[in-house]
């Protein structure tokens, strides 16, 4: 791994492509769950890797490369969220009625797919806190800083998200 | 005595490990006596457990690499040196081979994308591929010739490395890189959206540009 990072730092695009293949799933998962809109998630994933390329010289050897990439991705996601031009897509209303139908049946065990789609239907604020806290494992004080909200709001949004998800998944 | 009021918040905090000793005991005691809150508690716990089992990675629905690569201005001087080509020194005149491949490629693209009626239009006027294989097979054949020619160019380049000025060498290498990149881009566009005529126009123009560059690159070594 370090070998590829070093080569990429020296400008080797093929090595960087290898890095992309290794990490794209992790980055895309974050972008997709945070942004929901698939097109925006793809853009954010691409922006992340372009940013990673330009900032490769700031990566310190000996530290965890995957955590470093994840931090870059999170910064890209959060920065984009603050940009007014894309806000409409972040706050996108659910316009496809089919998506409002819960895919789960009471008689069948619910799947990860049900949970993912229920997460996607959450209001943006609740969804982003839920993803950062329950999926990615951040603390409320960290989330508060990242999302520019208070820790109390972060907690309230988390509880709201969990309640909405429980309701959606048992419908 | 604890009531059910605000209990949901405390159940969440309890599960998140945010309650200290006394608060924790209160919740535990309440849960022993209240079935409704126990049900809520189990539901939150189950949700947390399911969330923790979500996959860390999700594969994007399409290959995002070409779009990333286009935006890497810094990564421009590394060649796609494929293993083995150095040993495959061809005896044939490499520039003739290259020119032939370029002509073949232009012809293949013209035939495939510019020729009238090479595939029919659908009822909406949108062009529809009769079968993907015909186009892809033809293009892959052209690509094989193209790659063989660039292999020859690289072999020749390597052999003459000492004779060339560093500047000429850099120009040739840059051109080779562009060609390699163009091939990858063409394929990614094609595989992503093979029935969009606009894509076809865009990358036909791109291919022409690359082939001109290729010809320029082919002339360079003879100048030194
Ligand atoms: Zn109760």
pLDDT digits (tens, 9 = 90+) for B52-111: 999 999 999 999 999 999 888 754 433 333 222 222 322 333 444 455 555 556 555 555
| pLDDT (0 to 100) of residue A151 | 96
Instruction: Return the DSSP state at A149.
Output: S
Query: What is the CA(A122)–ligand 1 centre distance, in A?
Result: 26
The fraction of chain B above a pLDDT of 90, given in percent, is: 26
Q: What is the mean pLDDT of residues B136-163?
A: 62
Q: What is the mean pLDDT of residues A32-45?
A: 92
Residue located via tokens 């969330």:
B51
CATH of domain A1-101: 1.10.1740.10
* Contact with chain A for residue B223, Cβ under 8 A: no
Question: Does domain A102-171 bear CATH number 1.10.10.10?
Answer: yes
ipTM: 0.84
Q: What is the mean pLDDT of residues A10-21?
A: 93
| pLDDT (0 to 100) of residue B138 | 56
In the predicted structure, residue A100 carries a pLDDT above the cut 70: no
User: In chain A, what are the domain boundaries?
Assistant: 1-101, 102-171
Q: What rounded mean pLDDT belongs to chain A?
A: 86
Distance from C-alpha of A43 to C-alpha of A34, rounded to nearest angstrom: 13
pLDDT digits (tens, 9 = 90+) for A18-34: 999 999 999 999 999 99
* Residue B2: other Cβ atoms inside 10 A: 17
Q: What is the mean pLDDT of residues A130-144?
A: 96
Under 8 Å between Cβ of B142 and B170: no
Instruction: Return the DSSP state at B218.
Output: H
Residue located via tokens 């070093």:
A6
Distance from C-alpha of A84 to C-alpha of B7, rounded to nearest angstrom: 38
Q: Are the beta carbons of A14 and B78 separated by less than 8 Å? A: yes
Q: Are the beta carbons of A134 and B64 separated by less than 8 Å? A: no
Partnered with residue B127 across adjacent β-strands are B121
pLDDT digits (tens, 9 = 90+) for B11-57: 999 999 999 888 899 999 999 999 999 999 999 999 999 999 999 99
A99 pLDDT band, cuts 50/70/90, is very low
* Contact with chain A for residue B125, Cβ under 8 A: no
User: In chain B, what are the domain boundaries?
Assistant: 7-52, 84-219
Q: Which of B96, B79, B47 is nearest to B170 (CA)?
A: B79
In the predicted structure, residue A157 carries a pLDDT above the cut 90: yes
Which letter, b or e, does each residue of A26-41 get, where b requires 16 or more Cβ atoms within 10 Å of its Cβ? bbbbbbbbbbbbeebb
Under 8 Å between Cβ of B95 and B218: yes
Distance from C-alpha of B197 to C-alpha of A118, rounded to nearest angstrom: 37
**Closest residue of A to B46, CA-based?**
A166
SS3 string, A1-68, reads CHHHHHHHHCCCHHHHHHHHHHHHHHHHHHHHHHHCCHHHHHHHHHHHHHHHHHHHHHCCCCCCHHHH
| pLDDT (0 to 100) of residue B96 | 45
Sequence-distant (≥ 6) Cβ neighbours of residue A45 within 8 angstroms: A24, A27, A28, A31, A73, B60, B64
| pLDDT (0 to 100) of residue B156 | 63
| pLDDT (0 to 100) of residue B80 | 34
Under 8 Å between Cβ of A32 and B61: no
Interface of A with B (CB under 8 A): 11-14, 16-17, 20-21, 24-26, 28-29, 32-33, 38, 41-42, 45-46, 49-50, 53-54, 110, 112, 115-116, 134-135, 155, 158-159, 162-163, 165-166, 169-170
| pLDDT (0 to 100) of residue A82 | 77
| pLDDT (0 to 100) of residue B13 | 96
């Amino acid at each position: 791994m370090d070998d590829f990072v070093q080569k990429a730092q020296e400008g080797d695009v093929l090595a960087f492509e290898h890095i992309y293949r290794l990490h794209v799933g992790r980055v895309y998962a974050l972008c997709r769950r945070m942004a929901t809109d698939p097109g925006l998630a793809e853009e954010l994933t691409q922006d992340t890797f372009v940013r990673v390329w330009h900032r490769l010289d700031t990566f310190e050897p000996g530290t965890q490369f995957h955590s470093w990439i994840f931090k870059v991705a999170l910064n890209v996601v959060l920065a984009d969220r603050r940009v007014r031009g894309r806000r409409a897509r972040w706050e996108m209303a659910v316009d496809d009625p089919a998506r409002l139908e819960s895919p789960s049946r009471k008689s069948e065990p619910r799947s990860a797919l049900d949970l993912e789609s229920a997460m996607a239907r959450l209001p943006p604020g609740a969804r982003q806190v839920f993803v950062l806290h329950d999926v990615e494992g951040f603390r409320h004080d960290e989330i508060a800083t990242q999302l520019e909200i208070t820790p109390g709001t972060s907690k309230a949004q988390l509880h709201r998200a969990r309640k909405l998800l429980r309701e959606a998944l048992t419908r | 005595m604890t009531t059910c009021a605000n209990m949901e918040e405390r159940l969440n905090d309890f599960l998140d490990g945010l309650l200290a000793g006394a608060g924790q005991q209160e919740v535990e005691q309440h849960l022993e006596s209240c079935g409704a809150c126990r049900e809520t508690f189990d539901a939150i716990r189950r949700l947390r457990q399911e969330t923790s089992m979500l996959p860390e990675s999700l594969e994007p629905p399409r290959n995002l690499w070409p779009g990333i690569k286009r935006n890497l201005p810094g990564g421009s001087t590394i060649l796609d040196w494929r293993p083995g080509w150095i040993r495959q020194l061809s005896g044939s005149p490499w520039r003739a081979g290259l020119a032939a491949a370029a002509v073949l490629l232009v012809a293949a693209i013209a035939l495939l994308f510019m020729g009238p009626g090479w595939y029919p239009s659908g009822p909406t006027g949108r062009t529809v591929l009769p079968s993907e294989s015909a186009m892809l097979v033809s293009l892959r054949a052209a690509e094989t010739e193209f790659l063989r020619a660039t292999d020859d160019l690289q072999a020749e380049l390597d052999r003459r490395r000492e004779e060339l000025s560093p500047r000429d060498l850099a120009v040739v290498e840059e051109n080779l890189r562009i060609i390699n990149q163009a091939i990858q881009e063409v394929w990614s566009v094609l595989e992503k959206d093979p029935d969009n005529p606009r894509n076809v126009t865009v990358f036909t123009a791109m291919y022409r540009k690359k082939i001109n560059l290729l010809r320029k690159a082919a002339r360079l070594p003879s100048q030194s």
